[in-house]
Chains A and B, each alone.
Chain A
Amino acid sequence: MKILVTVKRVVDYNVKVRVKADNSGVDLANVKMSMNPFCEIAVEEAVRLKEKGVASEIVVVSIGPTAAQEQLRTALALGADRAVLVESTEELNSLAVAKLLKAVVDKEQPQLIILGKQAIDSDNNQTGQMLGALTGFAQGTFASKVDMEGDKVKVEREIDGGAQTVALNLPAIVTTDLRLNEPRYASLPNIMKAKKKPLEVLTPDALGVATASTVKTLKVEAPAARSAGIKVMSVAELVEKLKNEAKVI
């Protein structure tokens, strides 16, 4: 079976981002970029399914700037077979990304599509679900376990009260939670081999997808800073402060 995996190029999760002085956005100049951590988990899951003999081919797709080829090469080094970049310099909303992915799905006809549950920049948590609506496929979001069972996929999901298991008809969509797996590191030989794997570049126009959005960002601000607190010397002092100063206990 063919698996389609999506990856997004985002600011590295360790970077403390700064808001631009003109409030137009976050300053991304000269900031370290990486593969979105949830997408790494998606790639890892696909590679494991291939190692188990469940998957025959892994196609990795990214939608973004030319530089996103770096993240696609990383996914190829981790074990994906070939890559597709839908190149766009615009900042795309989740619905536009889902529509572009729908066009790629129509072309590639995968049986399973694995996405991260959210990108750590926009924090939207929408794309997988929207792709579900556009394709009509079932969705297993926030997955912590994925098992193939005949013509269905069983997904254990992280929910507010604990865990839930659902069975989905194939083709299906899975979005990854942090506890699905521990992603591997790419070895140097695999990084070298990945350079020779095929990477196809498409455009939204070529896919016939309009990417206009109904939501626009008016401004981006830094959150209100918390005023610096104090260090107390003893537990007794802490309890006294909480009772009489903060009045929270």
Chain B
Amino acid sequence: MTILVIAEHNNAVLAAATLNTVAAAKAIGGDIHVLVAGSNCAAIGEAGCKIEGVSKVMVADDAAYAHQLPENVAPLIAGLAKEYSHVLAAATTNGKNFLPRVAAQLDVDQISEIIAVESADTFRRPIYAGNAIATVQSSAQIKVITVRATGFDPVNAEGGSASIEQVSGTGDAGVSSFVGEELARSDRPELTAAKVVISGGRGMQNGENFKHLYSLADKLGAAVGASRAAVDAGFVPNDMQVGQTGKIVAPQLYIAVGISGAIQHLAGMKDSKVIVAINKDEEAPIFQVADYGLVGDLFEIVPELERLV
């Protein structure tokens, strides 16, 4: 049994989610190979070789793979997949974009966002916004799976000594092209990997008021997230959204500020170790999942909290 893990990266840095995905592969058991598909991505290949538990890294370096357009990378992965028992990718927007395309090319079902491995063919995954957990079994020859990073502790990024091999695919399928991208810049830790996350909701009232959360976050070394209401109201960009349709986080500490706690928001954060809710409405559903709740005006509480921590 050999498992293929598709590396998540931006051509410069290997994303942390890859380490969680390798951890899921380890839980399945067997040899683990990593595929790095990108352009000028030799450094990622080298980083991949150092991941604990990986025995081989394949690098497909081609301009066509620069932005991992699914039309281009899916045929590459599907071509290699035939030698493997499992193909895994992180359930990032990237993994979610290309992996179902790979599965359909292989004519197998995909299992999305697993949070636990029961055995080599049986996995657990959340459904209905995390309100139910399904245990599913696959009889497919090749099991194609996306992995929810927060379900698995990352393996060590150092200590491995995998061999490296260059591979090639069919290159550019010629049906799509990359036009541009606009990335939000932040010095704070990445939302999905942060130990502490502070999120603001509609109760923040405007984007300007998020500065209170930013300065508290800087003091705690935390990332800042948001509810859908805050994103839709234009307070903050959408890549900060935590929830069923945004990012899934499971930090040590999650501080929800001015967030009521709709089902869709809870889906993205209820696996956090400790949840703190700060809300003026003591009936808000967020208090039903919060370990520590504080009822009051966030504009008084947040600055005071910043002073005291």
A-side residues, CB < 8 A to B, are 11, 13-14, 16-17, 19, 26, 93-95, 98, 117-118, 120-134, 136-142, 144, 154, 157-169, 177-179, 213-223, 226, 228-232, 234-236, 238-239, 241-242, 246, 248-249
Give CA–CA (A160, B91) in the complex, Å: 11
For this complex, 14 residue pairs linking A to B, each with C-beta atoms less than 8 Å apart, are A13-B264, A95-B108, A117-B245, A122-B127, A136-B175, A137-B175, A162-B181, A216-B139, A217-B136, A223-B132, A229-B293, A235-B301, A235-B308, A238-B276
Apart from A124-B112, A140-B176, A242-B309: 15 A-B pairs, beta carbons within 8 A = A26-B132, A121-B127, A126-B100, A132-B71, A162-B184, A163-B182, A165-B179, A222-B132, A223-B130, A223-B133, A230-B291, A230-B293, A234-B294, A235-B301, A248-B274
What are the residues of chain B within 8 A of A177 when measuring CB–CB?
Answer: 245
Smallest CB separation, B215 vs chain A (Å):
15
Beta-carbon nearest neighbor of A133 in chain B: B104
Interface residues on chain B, size class: 35 or more
Q: Is the interface of B mostly helix, strand, loop or mixed?
A: mixed
Closest 3 CB pairs of A and B: A133-B104, A129-B100, A130-B104
What are the residues of chain B within 8 A of A179 when measuring CB–CB?
Answer: 231-232, 238
Query: Is the beta-carbon distance between A215 and B109 smaller than 8 angstroms?
Result: yes
Query: Is the beta-carbon distance between B184 and A168 smaller than 8 angstroms?
Result: no
What are the residues of chain B within 8 A of A213 when measuring CB–CB?
Answer: 109
Query: Is the beta-carbon distance between B136 and A141 smaller than 8 angstroms?
Result: no
Q: Is the interface of A mostly helix, strand, loop or mixed?
A: mixed
Q: Which of A226, A229, A232 contacts B270 (CB 8 A)?
A: A226
Query: Is the beta-carbon distance between B175 and A162 smaller than 8 angstroms?
Result: no
Give CA–CA (A122, B129) in the complex, Å: 9
CB within 8 Å for A141 and B175 given contacts A26-B128, A93-B109, A220-B127: no
Give CA–CA (A138, B173) in the complex, Å: 9
Query: Is the beta-carbon distance between A162 and B239 smaller than 8 angstroms?
Result: yes
CB within 8 Å for A229 and B275 given contacts A123-B112, A134-B104, A166-B177: yes
